[in-house]
Chain A
Amino acid sequence: MASTGMMTELPIQNRLCDRLRATARAAGALVVATGALVLVGWWARVELLKGLVPGAAAMNPVTAVCFVMCGVSLMSQLGKNRGAISSIGRWWALPVMMVGGLKLASHVLGWEFAVDQWLFAARTQEGGGRMNEMAPNTAAGLVFLAAALWFLGRERPEAVRLSEIFAMLVGLIALLAVVGYAYRVRWLYGLPAKMPMALNTALTFLVMAAGILAARPDRGLMEVVTGDSSGGLLVRRMFPAMVLAFVVAGGLILSGERRSGDLEEAAALHTVASIGIFGGFLLWCARSFHHADRTRRRLEEERERFFRLSLDLLCIAGTDGYFKRVNPAFCDVLGYSAGELLDRPFLELVHPEDVAATEAEMERLGAGQPTLHFENRYRCKDGSWRWLAWKTQPFDEEGVLYAAARDVTEQKEHALAILRLNAELMRQAARLEGVNQELESFSYSVSHDLRAPLRGISGFAQALEEHTADTLDPKGRGYLERVQQAAGRMGQLIDDLLKLSRLTRAEMKMEAVDLGRIAQELVTGYRAAEPERKVEILIAPDLWVRGDAALLRILMDNLIGNAWKFTSKHPAGRIEIGSTPEDGGKRFCHVRDNGVGFDKRYVHKLFGAFQRLHSQGEFPGTGIGLATAHRIIRRHGGRIRAEGEINHGATFGFTLEAAFEDP
């Protein structure tokens, strides 16, 4: 991630480097071509090819061969792939080094070691009375050039530095000669007693030096030159300016003196020209630096403002275990001043239980792996602990970590609370399960064991009655009958009680149910049971709700059954079953009758089990119908309510989840 980020940040620098490498390749080619042309010149006796200026010194053919080898060396060290440097090409520099070294030695020590006469020996002897030989500065230049090429292919920084230094020495020697030619100063391009360096040799040296410097634009000193720093900008702008300024100024001084012979005038012109050109470039550079600085400062301020504004905790920490910088959020969250945070190893603030994990994480960071998510607790100044979630990026070269932390204490607490609630819920569920099982076995035993004695009571009362038929008076028989009736009623109550508890235990299967259809079927049943009754029954269409069909049938049976029962004394009974939609996908259904109604004051007792508002004689029943209805609605998550008045009928309304007929 980080490395691709760096790459995309510097496209301009990359383009510049590519161009420089291409330039280096072109320089190599040019040098090879020049050397070849000189050799052709020697072979074909073309003065213009041997030396640029007819009559002046020509390039020695051996020098030309050396240049060809240097050019090849440079080109072959520049691989086809961008930036790749091949180390094989440097072997081409070795013969050049030997030739140059031998010639230099012969110059210095006065040996007659005519390396430079190996080629075209006959022709180098002819000409203007002097034989052509390799100039001492040319020999030195070749040695330096070979050294520069030799070190070019090495990876170590010192080798790169050496390569650059030798290339610059070559450039300096060549520049000396070129300037000498330009200003016609003889000793600059050749020692008095010796053959001077040819102009094309000097130029070729310059090209070669430039090519070597351009070959590795991203290493050594060239890294500064091509870099996007102010230093790079300064070099890139000032170096050409400097060359131009000096050349022009030098020219001025020379031409002035030559024209008028007046050194003062020439010096004055030179001074003014230098100051003018230099000053102009200086101002130009200064302006660029000014803008660059301003932009940089603004960016720094922006970053600084965000740093201060952040709600998250931001810091730079050293691998030595100390914070180097913390943002205000750090102080706000933990309660320390920045100084207090920087003064001690941050591990001192980490919760003892988290220290080991933190140390392990630091080790990973030390190995260069970024932290994407890590949590630990920090002690606040007030002694409390805060959970921090970290994201950290190590920067090895600088020995620092950049880290952002978020206070996740509340999330942690919420998560813990949820876990606690969940556990509590599980316990509740287990408890409920236990209660349910108990209830199950309770009703099972009620069902079996509670009824058996009643059968005994009823049966033996009957037996007693028969057995004592002759001796028992009517009063005694009446008592026995009441015993039997009581037993029968208790049996009924037990059955109802079991029915009610079964409602609570039954599994529910939720589906779309049409209450209207159920009502219709029930009504058909009531009418068949009591064909003599004339009751008007209105059932609204579209009474679809979601629920358990079996339970809802029991519900409707109880409500409509009640309505049927309590309208039995009305000459024109009327029962309405309808609904209205409610918010939240609910449906409010009602069963309304015009029967005997009930006393509003006892409405709260209506839904209790075995609660009755009418006497057994008036209307039969055990009083579990509405309790049953209430339970069924409650199991469906709905509400039920009753409205009524004595002799003005009753309305039972309940809400259920609305449903739509399945297509």
Chain B
Amino acid sequence: MKNKIILLVEDNPDDEELTLMALRKNNILNEVVVARDGVEALDFLFGDGLDSAAARKTMPAIILLDLKLPRMDGHEVLQRIRADERTRLLPVVVLTSSKEDKDRFESYSLGCNSYVRKPVDFAMFVEATRQLGLYWLLLNESPPGFPDFT
């Protein structure tokens, strides 16, 4: 479990901090790579920079994707991920503030694996994070070939 990394795509530092806090609280100690907008996220997944999936020779086990992002929004990121052979099967959980019909429809249409709305109440947020970690990192079996970069 430890070698599975999490890609958190989140522009709000508060939310980033809270998410990391919630993960720690739940003893999820996997490495979390934070991308602060869509472009950074794609750079990590497809780029060949120092800190990239290619350099690490591993793909994230799970991507936690916010929708409202500067430069390139979550929906476009999701679309690019699904369009690329390397990341086509990667589990993506949309983790965002809104539960607008429009957002949910679009996310599922583009092929997200799950849609979770961040609760305002921190205790509930911690609980949601716990369940997410439990499910996606422990219970769920990755698609063949993941997370190792083959």
A: which residues have CB within 8 A of B? 443-444, 447-449, 451-456, 458-463, 484, 487-488, 490-491, 502
Chain A residues with CB under 8 Å of B99's CB are: 447
Q: Report, as a range, how many residues of chain B touch the other chain.
A: 20 to 34
B14 near A452 with CB under 8 A, answer yes
Indicate if the CB atoms of B102 and A458 lie closer than 8 Å: no
A410 to B22, alpha carbons, bound, how many Å? 76
CB–CB B67/A448 < 8 A: yes
Q: Judge whether B97 and A452 touch: CB under 8 Å.
A: yes
B81-122, CB under 8 A of A: which get 1 and which 0? 000000000000000111111100000000000000011111
* Of B17, B97, B120, the contact of A458 (CB 8 Å cutoff): B120
B139 contacts partner chain A, Cβ-Cβ < 8 Å: no
- Inter-subunit contact B102/A444 (CB<8 Å): yes
Q: CA of A488 to CA of B122 in the docked complex: distance in angstroms?
A: 9
Secondary structure of the A contact surface, majority rule: helix
* 16 further interface pairs, Cβ-Cβ under 8 Å (given A447-B97, A460-B18): A444-B100, A448-B68, A448-B97, A449-B68, A452-B12, A452-B15, A452-B97, A455-B14, A455-B97, A455-B118, A458-B120, A458-B125, A459-B17, A459-B18, A459-B122, A491-B119
> How far does the Cβ of A551 sit from chain B's closest Cβ, in whole Å?
14
21 of the cross-chain contacts (CB-CB < 8 Å) are A444-B102, A449-B97, A451-B98, A453-B14, A454-B120, A455-B15, A455-B18, A455-B97, A455-B119, A455-B122, A456-B12, A456-B18, A458-B125, A459-B21, A460-B18, A463-B122, A484-B121, A484-B122, A487-B121, A488-B121, A490-B120
Q: Are A447 and B98 in contact (CB under 8 A)?
A: yes
Report the minimum CB–CB distance from B76 to chain A (whole Å).
16
Find out whether the CB atom of A488 lies under 8 angstroms from the CB atom of B21.
Answer: no
- Interface hits, B37-60 → A, CB 8 Å: none
Q: State the CA gap A463–B120 with chains docked (Å).
A: 14
Chain B nearest CB from A136 CB (Å) reads 121
* Chain A residues within an 8 Å CB radius of B17: 459
- Least CB distance, B10 to chain A, in whole angstroms: 10
Nearest residue in A to B117 (C-beta to C-beta)? A451
> Contacts of B120 on A, CB cut-off 8 Å?
451, 454-455, 458, 487-488, 490-491
CB <8 Å contact, A456 and B97: no
Which among B14, B68, B97 has the greatest number of chain A C-beta atoms within 10 A? B97
A residues near B1, Cβ cutoff 8 Å: none
Q: Determine which residue in A452, A463, A484, A488 has the highest number of CB atoms from chain B within 10 A of its CB, and name it.
A: A452
B138 near A: Cβ within 8 Å? Answer: no
A449 to B15, CA, bound (A): 12
Specify the chain B residue showing the minimal Cβ separation from A492.
Answer: B120
Asked whether, in the complex, the Cβ of A447 is within 8 Å of the Cβ of B100, the reply is yes
Interface of B with A (CB < 8 Å)? 12, 14-15, 17-18, 21, 67-68, 96-102, 118-123, 125
CA distance A447 to B99 in the complex (A): 8
Across the interface, which residues of A come within 8 angstroms of B100, CB to CB?
443-444, 447
Q: Please, which residues of chain A bring their CB within 8 A of the CB of B119? A: 455, 491
Instruction: Report chain B residues within 8 Å CB of A453.
Output: 14
User: Which residue of the partner chain B has the closest CB to A453?
Assistant: B14
A487–B12 alpha-carbon span in the complex (Å): 18
The residues of A that contact B21 with a CB separation of less than 8 Å are 459, 463
Identity of the chain A residue whose Cβ is nearest the Cβ of B123 in the assembled complex: A462
Question: In the complex, which of the residues B12, B18, B120, B121 has the most CB atoms of chain A within 10 Å of its own CB atom?
Answer: B120
A477 smallest CB distance to B (angstroms): 15
Rounded to whole Å, the gap between the CB of B48 and the closest CB of chain A is: 33
Could you tell me the distance between the alpha carbons of A322 and B83 in the complex, rounded to whole angstroms? Answer: 83
Contact B68 A455 (CB under 8 A): no
Q: How far is the CA of A447 from the CA of B17 in the complex (A)?
A: 21
CA distance A502 to B103 in the complex (A): 14
Residues on the B chain within 8 Å of A463, using CB: 21, 122
B14:A448 contact, CB within 8 angstroms: no
Given contacts A448-B68, A448-B97, A452-B97, is CB(A458)–CB(B14) below 8 Å?
no
Select from chain B the residue with minimum beta-carbon distance to A440: B102
Known: A452-B12, A455-B15, A459-B14. A444 touches B122 (CB 8 A): no
A448 to B73, CA, bound (A): 13
A444 to B67, CA, bound (A): 12
- B14 and A456 contacting across the interface, CB-CB below 8 Å: yes
Residues of chain A within 8 A (CB-CB) of B68 are 448-449
Are B12 and A459 in touch, CB under 8 angstroms? no
The reply to whether A451 and B97 form a contact with Cβ atoms under 8 Å apart is yes
Bound form: Cα–Cα A428–B14 in Å: 43
Chain B min CB distance to A651 (Å): 34
A156 to B121, CA, bound (A): 113
CB distance from B107 to the nearest CB of A (A): 13
On chain B, the residues within 8 Å of A443 by CB distance are 100
Residues of chain B within 8 A of A488, CB atoms compared: 120-121
Q: How far is the CA of A72 from the CA of B122 in the complex (A)?
A: 127
Determine the residue in chain A with the shortest Cβ distance to B21: A463
Q: How far is the CB of B56 from chain A (nearest CB, A)?
A: 30
Which residues from B are CB-within-8-Å of A502?
101
Is B122 a contact partner of A448 (Cβ separation < 8 A)? no
Name the one of B14, B96, B102, B121 contacting A460, with C-beta atoms under 8 angstroms: B14
Residue of chain A at shortest CB distance from B13:
A456
Q: Closest CB of chain B to A554's CB: distance in Å?
A: 15
A491 contacts B121, CB within 8 Å?
A: yes
- Bound: A454/B18 CA distance, A: 12
Q: Which residue of B lies closest to A489 (CB)?
A: B120
Complex Cα distance, B17 from A463, in Å, reads 11
Residues of B within 8 A of A451 (CB): 97-98, 118, 120
Chain B residue with Cβ nearest A462: B122
| Residues of chain B contacted by A444 (CB below 8 angstroms) | 98, 100, 102
